[in-house]
Structure 1
Amino acid sequence: MQGRLARQGWFLIFLGCFHCAVADRLVLDTVEVVSRSDALLGEARSASQGFVGRDRFQLRPLLRIGELAEVVPGMIATQHSGAGKANQYFLRGFNLDHGTDFAAFLDGVPLNLPSHGHGQGYLDLNPLIPELIDYIEYGKGPYYADVGDFASAGYARFHTASRLEKGFLKQTFGQDKYYRTVAADSYDLGRGTVLVGGELAFYDGPWASPMDMQRYKGLLKYSWEGDNRGFNIGFNAYHNDWSATDQIPERAVKQGLISRLGTIDPSDGGEAHRFGLTFNGWNDSAWGQTRLTLYSYYSDLRLYSNFTFFLEDPVHGDQIFQKDRRFVVGGNLDHHWHWTFDGIDAGFRLGTQIRHDFIPKVALYRTQRRNIVAPVAVDQVNQTSVGIYLENITRWHPKIRTMAAVRGDIYFFEVKDRLHGRHSDERADALVNPKFGLILGPWYDSELYFNYGFGFHSNDARGVVTGADPLVRSRGLEVGFRTYWLPELSTTLALWQLRLDSELVFVGDAGTTEPSGKSRRSGIELSNRYRPFDWLTLDFDLALTRARFEDVGNSADQIPNSVGRVIAGGITIDHPGGGFAAIRVRHFGAVPLNEAGTVEAGGTTIVNLGLGWRWRDRLRLSLDILNLTDSKDFDIAYYYASRLPGEPAGGVEDFHFHPVVPRQFRGTVQLFF
């Protein structure tokens, strides 16, 4: 405890010294952050494309950082392990595991990690500092030329702020030794603005085996903007280490071996690091708009997990150690220009994206209490991807516009087997994906959208060199409607279908994913946002999905962990008198746990409440009650065989679940300066 308080003290002293050193340069302008959803009318490429400003999520009570992704209608973010591991994401009938088929970006930098030690497309949002996110753009389906790998279900772009209206110091205390401090400020420096922010957090959690999470983050960003050009340079750092309570077998709870909050292997857990440098520049001229992003970052994950306990190794146990250490460099170059002839306005966009992942070590070991028993696989991977896209949007008539685009991607895989040398090889593959759209309107502040397009996800390089398909195509179709017919109400409706040539399925005993058969998903999504007053917002989202494997017959075609129903809604009050409150309900329905659909996990409903008071933009006090109803539902569940001591050698097929966190109270004091 004293060590934690000491670290908090040094953190605050550092920020205080930085503030004093540059306070003489402080010139803060008032910045109003509002949602720009109305601006999408006449601009959006599909009904399921959207924009969320800071005003839409700054008051949301969040249990975990990954829940920030739930601003995407129909998205669910859960967790089946410790607070340092990437979340499980569910969208459009996908169990995205930790990110496959959903792409995320931070200030233009791709966050998904291909050929990752824990799973393909691993997506960890824990490095984000929610208070420093300015806005989020999102889209669903494979209809966007500037988004390539891992985006069949959709994408989200997180953008950090360049300037804060006021600096702040925020301290949160909660049950189970939860402490979190965030501090940030922005200053004029030269002709630009520097923003500095940091977070530290500690949390044991309600688990029988304390999580002992220790998390540190930092962001330093310099921005400059002239009349028609500008740039920003950012550096971010992230460290997290934790112990984990993974999913547990239901029979162990029923037999009284452990509680619902217990664990079979208390030595599970991990450690994660990420350090990144980003440059974004733009220039607007008579020739069009040019955007350039350059980035490099280092990522390191050490993850200890035990999903089957004593099934594979009755002596040492089945704990595995997944190691992934990599250096990533890349860039995006994009040019946009217009051409007008005889009343027809055509916009063109030409871009290229290059990325290289150097992975000196991606490895899997058998371990016991974090001590290595035997190596299973140790590889070095070099993976390079180059994408080129061309998009045209033509306004043939004030009420008719079309979108036509083509994207080509080429991938190079090189794997060196450092353990046996048997699987060292190289391989390359390329894919071309066209995309089309027709938008009719606006009429009465409403538009109708028709979209058809192809996307893809890459497979793990280690599987590619042994015969797996390198690039797996997806095909999407969507018909949608967007309306602002009532000025205070925005509504979108989308009917969609998505087919994949190969599904990635979670494998319990390996703790990773593997390619499976073809799949088809279809569904309907409804999203509503009603703002009758400037201080009151009501929202409601509904997503219904049917997900099936293809070419497997009728008896075993269900996709495990595909969520068929998602309901989310809330009321947000931000009264000018100082009071504010937000209540949110999120529900996902029962999910099949095997292909036959004979085993099912029940639905989950969570209610979160936040309320507080603000005094003269100087002080904010708030209380969050997370899981208000103290739900005993599952965060996530699986069905597979595991073995406890004394059980048959073949193990026992059983539910394995991670419970939702019991009701939590967290109080926050935030000072503005």
Structure 2
Amino acid sequence: MSRSVSIRILGLAVLALLALSDPALSQESRRLAGTAVTSQFEFVPGVNIEVEADGRKHNVVSDSEGRFSLNVPTGIVIVKISGKNIAPVTLLYGPTDNIADIQAKITYTIAPINESITIRDDALTPDIETRNDAVYKNDLFARDDQLLQTLGAGINAGQHEGGGKSLEVRRYGFNTDHGGVGGGVKIVVDNIQQNQGTQGHGQGYLGALKSLSPELVQDVSIINGPFSAAYGDFSGLGVVQIRQKESLPNSFTARVQGGVNNTFRGFFAYSPNWKNTDAFIAYEPSYTDGPFINPLKYRRDNLSGNFTHKFSEQQALGLKFNFGRNDFTSSGQIPLDLVASGELDRFGYIDPDNGGKVRIGTGAIYFRKELASGETIKADTYIGRSLFDLFSNFTFFAADPTFGDEIQQHDSRLQEAANFQYLKPYKAFGSYSLLTIGANVHANQVNVGLYPSVGRNPNRKFLPGNEANPDVLLTSAKANINNYAGYLQNAMSFLHGHLRIEMGLRYDYFSYDVNGFELGAVRTDLIGKQGKGEFQPKLSVAWSPWENTPISLYANYGRGISSQDARSVIREPNARMVSLTDFYQTGASYNGSRVSGVFSAFLIDRSNEQVYIPDDGSIELLGPTRSYGFEARTSVRLFKNLSLNAGATNVISAFYRGERTALGERVIVDSAPHLVANGGLVLAEFRGFNSSLTWRHISSYRLDPDDRTIRAGGNDVVDFAISKRLRKWVDLNFSIDNVLNKKYYETQNYFESRTCGTCDIASRIHATPGYPFTASVGLTFRFGIRK
């Protein structure tokens, strides 16, 4: 007998033995796959799927996107669906039935309530988008703008002076500056507000995000408008809810990464395996010089921790803390006309002393209790302390030709907050409904000031020639700002869950108490107390007219608010203290098992607004504005491990209502792109590989409301990331920012400056350059699998 024949016989024998030892291998099998969905075709995670075939039982749980799959023998298949507060359902499939793409329709016995210990709004409507932790644990991050860029959702966030400052955020045709004007974009981390009111550099400043470690992000949900009654201040253009992990999958996790420009970053975490307790402590150090000629010297150190004890499945108590420090040098925003003429490098600088330092610490306590009747009580309280000093020079020598225009902006802050939420599920018209009642209080005690400086010494106001100079302004104030709020929201279902109507009402009251002064040519005292309250109604309707076609139609309305800087409230008490945003949205969503998409149209009406400019102490009065347009998002599962995601937000027009130029044209809202788009290919868990290729785009946009020729350049940027599991305990990570080495600018502004003491003052575009081709490589180690 030949050797090849012997090998074939031996192989057949082995296969026969395997088949005899396992009946599942002795017969043909087929793939059972599908999604768990509600009557409105919303994906439901955590559903138990029990499959019985050929006398054997198999169990699987739907994933974060409601998907499940497993191999089953041919023949009759019985599928049993169950879960917490889910009515049991049994489905029967014959040998010839198609089971490769089934819909497991679930019905809640009571309205679902998010079981997280933190307060959040997770209403399953198309105005909310979610991101899971896959991208945050597989990619290498060095800057907080990279985290926001993963969100898409029409949000354009740009570096502002190199990385140490808060990002400039633009959405729906409005520039929110650092998060708090033009309607605002509210960001919360574990229900802790990141936007700081009456801040040293800008209203709603988002600098606290620097202390967030991406590896600790569990998921992110984005409410695309002020549609949730749970959120008030700065929510006009939407809310980003970031939830951190309560524990890590491994006892020990370590990531070390390095790259060009003297870049180093680490992440080290310990998560103990304690009974009934989720806990971790994590430390993140990082450093980079960036691509700048004047090295960035950007050093961050973040320490985070969590301790959550579950007394039972119905009751838990948690403690979270976060401490961060941030030191950096900045090249500022440089004049682009000097770059174009070759007088200044794209990564050059004029004032070498720009930069800053930040210290921040937060401690929070969380409580959750589910009552026997199904109601849930959630409460949290936190205290935060921060120190902020920023040195900037925007106009160089325009106001002070002798010593320059450098300023120090100072913010020393203590804040306290408490939040309460009561959720009551109940039956109405034969379907589940949910009543939510909540209350918030947020108090800030701030020592805030603007100090003219030179060489980071805040004494420039008192140098020769400056004491009587009105353009060299010194301000100082102690401000107490309190925000009290209460809300209720009721969601009801009709037509066996196919129609959902959600109504809400929120009331916020702001009190301002300021004791300060401004010193220009003369001293002006800023002393006073003011208060203002506003109601904010909400209404959402979602209808799925067909039983088996996964299409939902929806309409949303919400009023959002944005508080004003306390200094402007006291200086201009007759102006609007709280600006309003009325947001209207309508659209349709399709949620198939392989393809999903959302298309919506929006109209946003903003009230008039007074904006305090902390850079020079001025107040800018903005009239009522309107923005309208449409957006579309889609996700396509090309193969089991490969998906395509894309989205675009297009603002058709954004203008000041009732205002016209001398030529009779509308006065345009400037400083924000009208087209924001993103796309990406994502490879997940393919033979140990995880990878993403992403693209982001913004259109060019006007920087001046009157002159349409003064525009910021748009950009297209491609990023790449890949990770490979080398062993069960170690991954290799590699990433490239700006793969095509695109030359672009992130934050661009148009104003007057003078680049030397004897130069002429000129109106010009100033900008922060985007990072060039930047490669990073890292290793991630994991030891000890937690039970």
Task: Report the TM-score, using the length of structure 1 for normalisation.
Answer: 0.91
Instruction: State yes or no: 1:135 paired with 2:240.
Output: no
Instruction: State yes or no: 1:671 paired with 2:781.
Output: yes
Q: Deviations over 1:406-464 (max 9, x none)?
A: 11111110000156562100001111111111111163222111111211100001001
Instruction: State yes or no: 1:388 paired with 2:473.
Output: no
Give the conservation status (yes or no) of the 8 Å contact 2:195–2:204: yes
- Which residue pairs with 1:76 in the alignment? 156
SS at match of 2:177: coil
- Which residue pairs with 2:332 in the alignment? 246
Structure 2 matches for 1:232-271, cutoff 5 A?
A: 232-271=318-357
How far the C-alpha of 1:36 sits from its partner, in A, is 4.0
Give the conservation status (yes or no) of the 8 Å contact 1:36–1:51: no
Instruction: State yes or no: 1:633 paired with 2:744.
Output: yes
Q: Deviations over 1:500-531 (max 9, x none)?
A: 11256696963998441111111211111122
Equivalent residue in structure 2 for 1:371, among 443, 457, 470: 457
How far the C-alpha of 1:188 sits from its partner, in A, is 2.8
Give the conservation status (yes or no) of the 8 Å contact 2:397–2:757: no
Equivalent residue in structure 1 for 2:601, among 470, 495, 505: 495
**Worse-superposed segment, 222-231 or 207-216:** 222-231
* CA separation of 1:238 and 1:203: change in aligned 2, threshold 3 A: same
Unaligned residue ranges in structure 1 (runs of 5+)? 1-30
Once residues 671 and 61 of structure 2 are traced to their aligned partners in structure 1, the CA distance between those partners, rounded to angstroms, is 41
Once residues 611 and 709 of structure 2 are traced to their aligned partners in structure 1, the CA distance between those partners, rounded to angstroms, is 18
- Which residue pairs with 1:6 in the alignment? none
SS at match of 2:210: coil
AA aligned opposite 1:598? T
How far the C-alpha of 1:335 sits from its partner, in A, is 0.4
**Worse-superposed segment, 505-514 or 424-433:** 505-514
SS at match of 1:424: strand
- Which residue pairs with 2:554 in the alignment? 449
Structure 2 matches for 1:204-353, cutoff 5 A?
A: 204-225=289-310, 226-285=312-371, 286=373, 288-353=375-440
Instruction: State yes or no: 1:543 paired with 2:649.
Output: yes
Instruction: State yes or no: 1:121 paired with 2:204.
Output: yes
Give the conservation status (yes or no) of the 8 Å contact 1:162–1:222: yes
Give the conservation status (yes or no) of the 8 Å contact 2:152–2:678: no
How far the C-alpha of 1:576 sits from its partner, in A, is 3.6
Once residues 312 and 338 of structure 1 are traced to their aligned partners in structure 2, the CA distance between those partners, rounded to angstroms, is 61
Give the conservation status (yes or no) of the 8 Å contact 1:72–1:138: no
Give the conservation status (yes or no) of the 8 Å contact 1:61–1:582: no
Give the conservation status (yes or no) of the 8 Å contact 2:553–2:587: yes
How far the C-alpha of 1:598 sits from its partner, in A, is 2.9
Give the conservation status (yes or no) of the 8 Å contact 2:140–2:733: no
- Which residue pairs with 1:52 in the alignment? 131
AA aligned opposite 1:669? L
* CA separation of 1:535 and 1:32: change in aligned 2, threshold 3 A: farther
* CA separation of 1:393 and 1:335: change in aligned 2, threshold 3 A: same
Instruction: State yes or no: 1:474 paired with 2:581.
Output: yes
Once residues 601 and 200 of structure 2 are traced to their aligned partners in structure 1, the CA distance between those partners, rounded to angstroms, is 36
Give the conservation status (yes or no) of the 8 Å contact 1:248–1:263: yes
Give the conservation status (yes or no) of the 8 Å contact 2:751–2:764: yes
How far the C-alpha of 1:579 sits from its partner, in A, is 2.1
Instruction: State yes or no: 1:533 paired with 2:639.
Output: yes
How far the C-alpha of 1:297 sits from its partner, in A, is 0.6
**Worse-superposed segment, 224-233 or 564-573:** 224-233
- Which residue pairs with 1:13 in the alignment? none
Q: Deviations over 1:364-395 (max 9, x none)?
A: 01111211112610000000011100111111
- Which residue pairs with 1:28 in the alignment? none
Give the conservation status (yes or no) of the 8 Å contact 2:196–2:204: yes
SS at match of 1:629: coil
Q: Among the aligned pairs, what percent are the same residue?
A: 25
- Which residue pairs with 1:22 in the alignment? none
Once residues 62 and 612 of structure 2 are traced to their aligned partners in structure 1, the CA distance between those partners, rounded to angstroms, is 40
Q: Deviations over 1:566-619 (max 9, x none)?
A: 110111112341122211110100110000223112211111111231123311
AA aligned opposite 1:408? Y
Give the conservation status (yes or no) of the 8 Å contact 2:139–2:735: no
How far the C-alpha of 1:483 sits from its partner, in A, is 1.4
Give the conservation status (yes or no) of the 8 Å contact 1:414–1:427: yes
Instruction: State yes or no: 1:87 paired with 2:194.
Output: no
- Which residue pairs with 1:3 in the alignment? none
* CA separation of 1:424 and 1:279: change in aligned 2, threshold 3 A: same
Give the conservation status (yes or no) of the 8 Å contact 2:287–2:300: yes
Give the conservation status (yes or no) of the 8 Å contact 2:200–2:614: no
Give the conservation status (yes or no) of the 8 Å contact 1:119–1:512: no
Q: RMSD of the TM alignment (CA)?
A: 2.3
Once residues 660 and 452 of structure 1 are traced to their aligned partners in structure 2, the CA distance between those partners, rounded to angstroms, is 36
**Worse-superposed segment, 300-309 or 419-428:** 419-428
**Worse-superposed segment, 633-642 or 142-151:** 633-642
Once residues 155 and 127 of structure 2 are traced to their aligned partners in structure 1, the CA distance between those partners, rounded to angstroms, is 12
Higher-Rg member (1/2): 2
* CA separation of 1:507 and 1:547: change in aligned 2, threshold 3 A: farther
Once residues 45 and 592 of structure 1 are traced to their aligned partners in structure 2, the CA distance between those partners, rounded to angstroms, is 36
SS at match of 1:162: coil
* CA separation of 1:190 and 1:395: change in aligned 2, threshold 3 A: closer
Task: Report the TM-score, using the length of structure 2 for normalisation.
Answer: 0.78
Once residues 99 and 302 of structure 1 are traced to their aligned partners in structure 2, the CA distance between those partners, rounded to angstroms, is 19
SS at match of 1:422: strand
SS at match of 2:669: coil
Once residues 106 and 326 of structure 1 are traced to their aligned partners in structure 2, the CA distance between those partners, rounded to angstroms, is 18
SS at match of 2:544: strand
Once residues 322 and 32 of structure 1 are traced to their aligned partners in structure 2, the CA distance between those partners, rounded to angstroms, is 53
- Which residue pairs with 2:535 in the alignment? 432
Give the conservation status (yes or no) of the 8 Å contact 2:189–2:243: yes
Once residues 175 and 234 of structure 1 are traced to their aligned partners in structure 2, the CA distance between those partners, rounded to angstroms, is 34
How far the C-alpha of 1:46 sits from its partner, in A, is 4.5
**Worse-superposed segment, 629-638 or 533-542:** 533-542
Aligned length: 640
How far the C-alpha of 1:482 sits from its partner, in A, is 1.8
* CA separation of 1:364 and 1:37: change in aligned 2, threshold 3 A: farther
Once residues 534 and 66 of structure 1 are traced to their aligned partners in structure 2, the CA distance between those partners, rounded to angstroms, is 30
Give the conservation status (yes or no) of the 8 Å contact 2:391–2:408: yes
Equivalent residue in structure 1 for 2:623, among 507, 517, 520: 517
SS at match of 1:465: helix
How far the C-alpha of 1:635 sits from its partner, in A, is 1.1
Once residues 191 and 256 of structure 1 are traced to their aligned partners in structure 2, the CA distance between those partners, rounded to angstroms, is 64
* CA separation of 1:661 and 1:201: change in aligned 2, threshold 3 A: same
Give the conservation status (yes or no) of the 8 Å contact 1:324–1:363: yes
* CA separation of 1:344 and 1:255: change in aligned 2, threshold 3 A: closer
* CA separation of 1:421 and 1:636: change in aligned 2, threshold 3 A: closer
* CA separation of 1:568 and 1:528: change in aligned 2, threshold 3 A: same
Instruction: State yes or no: 1:159 paired with 2:269.
Output: no
- Which residue pairs with 1:417 in the alignment? 516
Once residues 435 and 441 of structure 1 are traced to their aligned partners in structure 2, the CA distance between those partners, rounded to angstroms, is 21
AA aligned opposite 2:253? F
* CA separation of 1:590 and 1:642: change in aligned 2, threshold 3 A: same
